[in-house]
Amino acid sequence: MSTPLLSIHNLHVSVADREVLRGIDLALPAGEVHAIMGPNGSGKSSLSHALAGKPGYAVTAGSVDYLGRDLLSLPPEQRARQGLFLGFQYPVEIPGVNNAYLLRAALNAARRARGQGEIDAFDFLGLVKERMALMKMDESFLSRGVNEGFSGGEKKRNEILQMLVLEPRVAVLDETDSGLDIDALKMVAGGINSVRSPERAILLVTHYQRLLDHVQPDRVHVLARGRIVKSGGPELARELEQRGYDWLLDEAA
Amino acid sequence: MTQDARLESVLGRGYQHGFVTDIESDTLPPGLDEETVRFISAKKQEPQFLLDWRLRALERWLAMKEPHWARVNYPPIDYQAISYYSAPKVRTDAPQSLSEVDPKLLATYEKLGVPLHERARLAGVAVDAVFDSVSVATTFKERLAAAGVIFCPISEAVRTHPQLVEQYLGTVVPYGDNFFAALNSAVFTDGSFVYVPPGVRCPMELSTYFRINAAKTGQFERTLIIADQGSHVSYLEGCTAPMRDENQLHAAVVELVALDDAQIKYSTVQNWYPGDEHGRGGIYNFVTKRGECRGRNAKISWTQVETGSAITWKYPSCVLRGENSVGEFYSVAVTSNYQQADTGTKMIHLGANTRSTIISKGISAGHAQNTYRGLVAVMPGATGARNFTQCDSLLIGADCGAHTVPYLETKNPQAVVEHEASTSKISEEQLFYCLQRGLSEEDAVNLIVSGFCRTVLRELPMEFAVEAQNLLAVSLEGAVG
């Protein structure tokens, strides 16, 4: 196995003095898709936020190695520019700022960090339109405000579109499947599958099995009370679908 | 002859005429009385009617008290300690070249993308004849003359078109209108005059930029714009780069007159020195701006982006006298550090089926206080009048304030008046979302702020909009974190 793109060692995180992650160990090798599953309140979103560096998530112990760097020492914008992408569970609205503008600013921030020049406006438009076609999004969407007045499904598709354009090394997708109807779910899954590559790794955070019917994970980890209580192959997700989480919680207790 | 040589010869000629000595003798000692007014009027070689008008204004002003109803605080102003005439501010102590100018100021100009020769002019570099601008201004004047548009300093119009000045001056803002307007009427030294003849669409945006001397007309500017029947004009005021200015008090008056079917669009980007981060220094900006839609179907539109001044007291207003006339007010007011702004508009509906729109965006950061104060008045004759008002405030940080003071007087039962207001903070969620996409915190704030202001910024003429956006960014530098 190659060196992992992301490896988490004994990660402890507190929010407002309450410990939400209590010693996470996880290695995410290049080319793989791992699913993080678990009941509500198990720490799934906390893990996503802590990796992205959200203010208020205090790391009390442990370390995270990302592309050979100490991830936790980087401010959130540096993590993003180095190719760590978080697909938000609840993407926020930014009224009056158009989608294309934010996306181009984001892409240019990453390009500058890589020592590349800013992308030409014409090339940018070409790239975005190509990626939008993948997500079956209408072009009018580019001039709309960021997530402004979007339906739940549109917001999630927008997150995936951003991922397709930014081409991250590690994508953490936080409950990207929640609130989607079956057509939107397939579209989102298609977007995720299209970015699978030997240079990239994806962490899928999800409550349900159903996304995993469309995106086959290499590994599945079950999170409960801030710890990974079980890891396995794709069959673990199916077992959870049938048996629920309770038996694991009992085992972990 | 090379360009440099030509420039040198132009500059050389200027000095041969003894500019410097002339100017020194043109400065009055501090104080204001009848003699001061007579001196100014004589200097300007004004006709008798204007001197009489100024003297009436002075008499009125002496009997008035400075108003204190606005939500702004400042130490008392000693009006007798101000010099009311110091013609073209060419200072002997002015920097002689860009290398003598405060590097902080130059860095700001660079961020705004102000052209190099313009930076020199703004910084008050003594060498004032910039060859490029001179030639631009000349072409500009020829095109306007061909269209019949009069655009000149008001001190010139007083001599060349006295009948127009006498007919319109003070008809929208009478000399006794308010304390600052009375003061201005008594002592104004210069400003712009525009007349657009019937049916003429002014062939270009008029801007003080092209009237080389206009930017230095001092603290009591007077502007008068008349759009005759069926004419159109767009006027850009101010300058997007920050001007350092030693003056403390600015009391300008702007009057607009739109006759039947005429349209005036007046855009301002105000960025006077706001004082330092501790609230020291800065301009007190007490301005009276009013337009009158005097004819049927006339339209007056004010767009302002206010980021400067320590204190802003300003209510660009529309008197909608003509039937079907339209008034608009689009405003972005940014206050940071210890700035105070009390700004808004008045829409006075007199004619039938008059319509007005007010969109105000107030942004406060640091310890700043930002107040929207607006009046919508519908008079008995204004059957079918409509108004829509939207006031939004955005707070950055916990120590600033936003206040909305809408006044509404409806004397016609059929009028339709709508008011919407909101106050929001830049949320942690919005900031984090942008950071997670790789934007710096400063870029994230600018992005969110420009989104908040978008409905106003898009009203600005294109070339102004970009500069205004840059200006917002510079004004809010360091506002977060």
Q: What does the buried/exposed string (b/e) look like for B391-425 if buried means 16 or more CB atoms within 10 Å of the residue's CB?
A: bbbbbbbeebbbebebeeebeeeebebeeeeeeee
pLDDT at B3 over 60: no
Considering only A236-245, B168-177, B432-441, which range has the smallest mean pLDDT?
A: A236-245
- Residue B270 exposed, middle or buried by CB count within 10 Å (0-12, 13-18, 19+): buried
d(CA B23, CA B18): 9
Residue type, A33: V
CB contact under 8 Å between A105 and B447, yes or no, is yes
Task: Give me the residues of chain A with pLDDT under 50, please.
Answer: none
Q: What is the predicted pLDDT for the residue at B101? A: 63
Alpha-carbon distance A16 to nearest alpha carbon in chain B (angstroms): 16
pLDDT at B260 over 70: yes
Q: Any CB–CB contact under 8 A between A16 and chain B?
A: no
The answer to whether residue A136 sits within a structural domain is: no
User: How is chain A split among helix, strand and coil, in percent rounded to 5?
Assistant: 40, 30, 30
Computed from CA positions of residues B179, B182, B184, B186, in that sequence, does the dihedral angle turn out positive or negative?
Answer: negative
Strands B249-250 and B284-293: what pairing?
A: parallel
CB-CB: which of B427, B436, B448 is closest to A80?
A: B436
Domains contained in chain A, number: 1
Q: What is the predicted pLDDT for the residue at B57? A: 96
CB contact under 8 Å between B432 and A145, yes or no, is no
Q: What is the predicted pLDDT for the residue at B1? A: 41
The answer to whether residue A106 sits within a structural domain is: no
At A138, which helix (H) or strand (E)? none
d(CA A48, CA B438): 16
Query: Please, which residues have CB within 8 angstroms of residue B42's CB and are 6 or more apart in sequence?
Result: none
The answer to whether residue A23 sits within a structural domain is: yes
The answer to whether residue A176 sits within a structural domain is: yes
Chain A environment of B430 (Cβ under 8 Å): 92, 94
Q: What is the mean pLDDT of residues B49-72?
A: 92
CB contact under 8 Å between A105 and B452, yes or no, is no
CB contact under 8 Å between B437 and A105, yes or no, is yes
CB-CB: which of B428, B432, B437 is closest to A102?
A: B437
Roughly how many angstroms between the first and final C-alpha of chain B, as a whole number? 55
Tell me the HSE value of B266 on the side-chain side, using a 13 A CA sphere: 28
Reported as a single tens digit per residue, the pLDDT across B222-234 is: 999 999 999 999 9
Considering only A98-102, B112-116, B153-157, which range has the smallest mean pLDDT?
A: B112-116
Chain B environment of A162 (Cβ under 8 Å): 437
CB contact under 8 Å between A92 and B429, yes or no, is yes
Map tokens 């007199």 to a residue.
B350
Range of the domain at A241: 4-91+159-252
Tally of residues, chain B: 481
How many other C-beta atoms can be found within 10 angstroms of the C-beta atom of residue B317?
Answer: 23
- Residue B7 exposed, middle or buried by CB count within 10 Å (0-12, 13-18, 19+): middle
CB contact under 8 Å between A80 and B427, yes or no, is no
Chain A environment of B423 (Cβ under 8 Å): none
Q: Looking at A43-169, which runs of residues are DSSP E strands?
A: 57-66, 69-70, 84-87, 94-98, 145-146
Reported as a single tens digit per residue, the pLDDT across B444-453 is: 988 898 888 8
Count Cβ–Cβ pairs < 8 Å, chain A vs chain B: 75
The answer to whether residue A120 sits within a structural domain is: no
d(CA B430, CA A149): 15
CB contact under 8 Å between A106 and B437, yes or no, is yes
d(CA A103, CA A80): 13
Q: Any CB–CB contact under 8 A between A169 and chain B?
A: no
d(CA B68, CA B55): 25
Q: What is the mean pLDDT of residues B20-25?
A: 34
Closest Cα in chain B to A48 = B436
Q: What is the predicted pLDDT for the residue at B213? A: 35
CB-CB: which of B428, B440, B450 is closest to A55?
A: B428
Considering only B86-100, B223-237, B265-279, B458-472, which range has the smallest mean pLDDT?
A: B86-100
Chain B environment of A110 (Cβ under 8 Å): 438
Reported as a single tens digit per residue, the pLDDT across A146-192 is: 999 898 889 999 999 999 999 999 999 999 988 888 888 999 999 99
Alpha-carbon distance A251 to nearest alpha carbon in chain B (angstroms): 36
Phi/psi zone of residue B236: left (φ > 0), alpha (ψ -120 to 50 degrees), beta?
beta
Considering only B24-33, B83-92, B454-463, which range has the smallest mean pLDDT?
A: B83-92
Closest Cα in chain B to A144 = B451
d(CA A114, CA A107): 11
Q: What is the predicted pLDDT for the residue at B210? A: 39
Q: What is the CATH number of the domain that holds A173?
A: 3.40.50.300
Query: Please, which residues have CB within 8 angstroms of residue B429's CB and are 6 or more apart in sequence?
Result: A92
At B423, which helix (H) or strand (E)? strand B416-425
Cα angle at B99 between B96 and B103, to 5 degrees? 125
pTM: 0.79
Q: What is the mean pLDDT of residues B194-207?
A: 91
Reported as a single tens digit per residue, the pLDDT across A8-28 is: 999 999 999 999 999 999 999
Structure tokens at B266: 């007046």
The answer to whether residue A12 sits within a structural domain is: yes
Secondary structure, 3-state, A82-110: CCEEEECCCCCCEEEEEHHHHHHHHHHHH
The answer to whether residue A144 sits within a structural domain is: no
What average pLDDT is seen over chain B? 80
Confidence of residue B19 (pLDDT cuts 50, 70, 90): very low
Alpha-carbon distance B242 to nearest alpha carbon in chain A (angstroms): 26
Q: What is the predicted pLDDT for the residue at B61? A: 95
Tell me the percentage of chain B whose pLDDT exceeds 70: 77
d(CA B372, CA B349): 20
Return the SS3 of B83: coil
CB contact under 8 Å between B447 and A94, yes or no, is yes
d(CA B38, CA B46): 10
Reported as a single tens digit per residue, the pLDDT across B379-402 is: 999 999 999 999 999 888 888 888
Closest Cα in chain A to B447 = A97
Closest Cα in chain A to B438 = A77
Strands A18-29 and A4-15: what pairing?
A: antiparallel
d(CA B37, CA B182): 12
Chain B residues whose C-beta sits inside 8 Å of any chain A C-beta: 427-430, 432-441, 443, 447-448, 450-455
Phi/psi zone of residue B366: left (φ > 0), alpha (ψ -120 to 50 degrees), beta?
left
d(CA B468, CA B474): 10
CB contact under 8 Å between A94 and B448, yes or no, is yes
Considering only A190-194, B90-94, B415-419, B445-449, which range has the smallest mean pLDDT?
A: B90-94
Closest Cα in chain A to B432 = A54
At A166, which helix (H) or strand (E)? helix A152-166
CB-CB: which of B430, B439, B448 is closest to A109?
A: B439
Structure tokens at A35: 């699913």
CB contact under 8 Å between B434 and A91, yes or no, is no
CB-CB: which of A76, A110, A113 is closest to B435?
A: A76
Return the SS3 of B371: strand
Residue type, B177: D
Chain B environment of A103 (Cβ under 8 Å): 437
The answer to whether residue A198 sits within a structural domain is: yes
Q: What is the mean pLDDT of residues B138-159?
A: 84
Q: What is the predicted pLDDT for the residue at B143? A: 81
pLDDT at B158 over 60: yes
User: How is chain B split among helix, strand and coil, in percent rounded to 5?
Assistant: 30, 30, 40
Chain B environment of A76 (Cβ under 8 Å): 432, 435-436
Return the SS3 of A174: strand
pLDDT at B211 over 70: no
CA proximity to A1, closest of A27, A33, A35, A34: A27
Q: Residue B194's beta-bridge partner residues?
A: B151, B225
CB contact under 8 Å between B448 and A106, yes or no, is no
